[in-house]
Amino acid sequence: MRSLSRRPLHDLSPNRICRTCNLPRRQFSSSLPSPPRPPASGIAPLASRQLLSVTGPDAAKFLQGIITANVVSSKGEPRTDPFYTAFLNATGRVLHDVFIYPVRGCAPGDSAQAAGDDGFLVEVDAAQINALMKYIKRYKLRAKVAFRAIDPAEISVWHAWNDTPNSTTLDIPAADPSRIVFQDPRAPGLGHRIIQLAGHKPPEVDVERATEDAYTIRRYLHGVPEGQDEILREQALPLESNMEHMNGIDFHKGCYVGQELTIRTKHRGVVRKRILPCVIYDRAKAAPPSLVYDPDPDSEAGGSPEALTADMIPAETSIGRSGKRGRSAGKWLRGVGNIGLGLCRLEIMTDVVLPGEQAAATFRDGDEFELEWGEEDNKSGVKVKAFVPEWLRRSIDGQQR
Amino acid sequence: MKLEITPRAAQRLSEIMAKDKNPNLALRIRVESGGCHGFQYLMSLITMPTGEGLESSTILNEDDSIFQYVPDETESTSPPPNSPKIILDEPSLELLTGSKVDFTQELIGSQFKIVDNPYASSSCGCGTSFDIKA
């Protein structure tokens, strides 16, 4: 770590220099200070998400063939409630994780569309919208569907939450036709998605306005991955990304792209790796007892200037066992401050007992894991601990019974 | 645009035409999105409109191509009058050109089948669904 100080001065970008004294703010660190703790209740605009409209008489049938969730309700009628789902490729790897909002009549803002057509808004990682557009166009053939990327100024995506101990409900007028309000189905207590059909105008919800960082931190604390920086395109598997526990997969709907591997793994296989929330901590310190976001873990220790934060760790850094060689225990995905997400081998990093196996094969309480990155003579490293969220543990247990 | 029809497939179509006493019978092959690999073949038997019905018919569309079976050993290039016909629409033909239409007889069942599709990169276990090369 000390060797980081050998960095040439011109490598320091302006945002690392304190404006008042013109000196580097964090001498040894290469990142900005970590964002503050999220407020107990808040609402945040999500610039990382963008919408795509799919309209036309064949829209429902068209989507049914290429997504993991069922477009038809359990009663056999077209679904009217929003839902979480994914697009997979033919070999069963995730291409995009999305929310789909059915819109009756013509899609909002789509005045060019004939009224009466079924429509859907598909919410996707904003960096991936062109890839998704290209992908679905391949499957259009003769189907009567039209696609359009929607400008964020036209319809915007928001997320609101309330963790206040006594009243965890949010007062959002749902009946308003200018917005779609939808409880995030991925994890209990995560919050609500709000699709603001009237563009940039923020929804009138009486909570603190927060940034997307606050949303991301809460998402990590709940262990919910999102977007292709965390659910890696053409690499991640839907079951390893916990999608079946986040209500994103219907195992009874019939054929869709990628169904073969997904259903075979569900019925015949074992999911050995899952995306889990992790805490990183200094190699010299003890493992943290719980999953808590701390923007500045060294503050009480007199402010260690060389603190390493999760955003410095390169994606897909291998997680190794402390003091042991052998195969990788998982890989790092993305993080902020002292928390983040990793794709973790359950039997090595957690006490989860896999179906058909006697006991947690190799995990012992007190086992420690490490992340190491950087050039050979200039390595940085932290320890990392994975946590199994309560909702996920319950869902996995329920499945095995 | 080329499509190969195997003698076995032609033979089977002729048999169906004879059995149904319908000389205007044809096999329509369509590609639709769906199935576990993204695209699937749909096959159906249709009766081709003739004479006056031809203009107003909705069975045949403008973008349809009609393929007729010409046995390999014949000298003439024009197909015999009652040789079996296969109909493909334009988007389907784009994904099928160069393929072979066969009639397979297997334990799992006898069926018309597309084999050796040069555009398919992978297909599912039952062979009705496939993925195209990007």
Assign A359 a pLDDT band (cuts: 50, 70, 90): low
Q: What is the predicted pLDDT for the residue at A212?
A: 96
- Closest to A80 measured CA to CA, from A53, A59, A65, A101: A101
Query: Once rounded to an integer, what is the mean pLDDT over residues B38-55?
Result: 82
Residue B124 distance to chain A (closest CA, Å): 8
Query: Once rounded to an integer, what is the mean pLDDT over residues A135-155?
Result: 91
**Burial call B43-63: b when 16+ CB within 10 Å, e when fewer:** eeeeebeeeeeeeeeeebeee
User: Does A139 sit within 8 Å of B122, measured CB to CB?
Assistant: no
Residues of chain A in contact with residue B122, where contact means CB-CB under 8 angstroms, are 90-91
Residue A260 distance to chain B (closest CA, Å): 6
The pLDDT tens digits for A59-95 are: 999 999 999 999 998 888 888 899 999 999 989 999 9
Question: Per-residue pLDDT for B134 more than 70?
Answer: no
Q: With beta carbons less than 8 A apart as the criterion, state whether A28 and A6 touch.
A: no
Question: Per-residue pLDDT for A386 more than 70?
Answer: yes
Domain with residue B21: its CATH number is: 2.60.300.12
Instruction: Considering only the beta carbons, identify the residue of A90, A142, A143 that sits closest to B131.
Output: A90
Assign A107 a pLDDT band (cuts: 50, 70, 90): very low
- Closest to B86 measured CA to CA, from B134, B21, B27, B15: B27
Q: What is the predicted pLDDT for the residue at A105?
A: 55
Domain ranges of chain A: 1-30, 42-266, 270-400
Residues of chain B in contact with residue A262, where contact means CB-CB under 8 angstroms, are none
Residue A48: other Cβ atoms inside 10 A: 15
The CATH number of domain A42-266 is 3.30.1360.120: yes
Question: Per-residue pLDDT for A143 more than 60?
Answer: yes
Lowest mean pLDDT among A190-199, A335-344, A378-387: A190-199
* Distance in angstroms (rounded) separating the CA atoms of residues A244 and A117: 30
Q: Which residue has the higher pLDDT, A243 or B110?
A: A243
Q: Number of folded domains in chain B?
A: 1
Q: What is the predicted pLDDT for the residue at A156?
A: 93
Q: Kindly report the pTM of this predicted structure.
A: 0.84
Residues of chain B in contact with residue A140, where contact means CB-CB under 8 angstroms, are 33
Residues of B with CB under 8 A from a CB of A: 30-40, 89, 91-92, 121-122, 124-125, 129, 131-132, 134
* Distance in angstroms (rounded) separating the CA atoms of residues A385 and A279: 5
Residue A91: other Cβ atoms inside 10 A: 14
Residues of chain A in contact with residue B39, where contact means CB-CB under 8 angstroms, are 139
* H/E stretch holding A264: helix A259-268
Question: Per-residue pLDDT for A44 more than 50?
Answer: yes
Q: What is the predicted pLDDT for the residue at A302?
A: 43
Instruction: Considering only the beta carbons, identify the residue of B122, B129, B132 that sits closest to A255.
Output: B129
Question: Per-residue pLDDT for A7 more than 50?
Answer: no
Domain range spanning residue B59?
A: 4-132
User: Under 8 Å CB-to-CB from A361, ≥6 apart: which residues?
Assistant: A347, A348, A354
Assign A2 a pLDDT band (cuts: 50, 70, 90): very low
Query: Once rounded to an integer, what is the mean pLDDT over residues A328-338?
Result: 95
Q: In terms of DSSP bridges, do strands A41-45 and A208-209 run parallel, antiparallel, or are they unpaired?
A: parallel
* Distance in angstroms (rounded) separating the CA atoms of residues A377 and A382: 16
User: Under 8 Å CB-to-CB from A80, ≥6 apart: which residues?
Assistant: A73, A102, A104
Q: With beta carbons less than 8 A apart as the criterion, state whether A52 and A124 touch.
A: yes
Residues of A with CB under 8 A from a CB of B: 62, 65-66, 89-91, 138-143, 255-260
Q: Which residue has the higher pLDDT, A131 or A375?
A: A131
- List the structure tokens of A2: 């000390």
Counting one residue from chain A and one from chain B, the pairs whose CB atoms sit within 8 A come to 50
* Distance in angstroms (rounded) separating the CA atoms of residues A330 and A11: 32
User: Does B38 sit within 8 Å of A90, measured CB to CB?
Assistant: yes
Residue B134 distance to chain A (closest CA, Å): 9
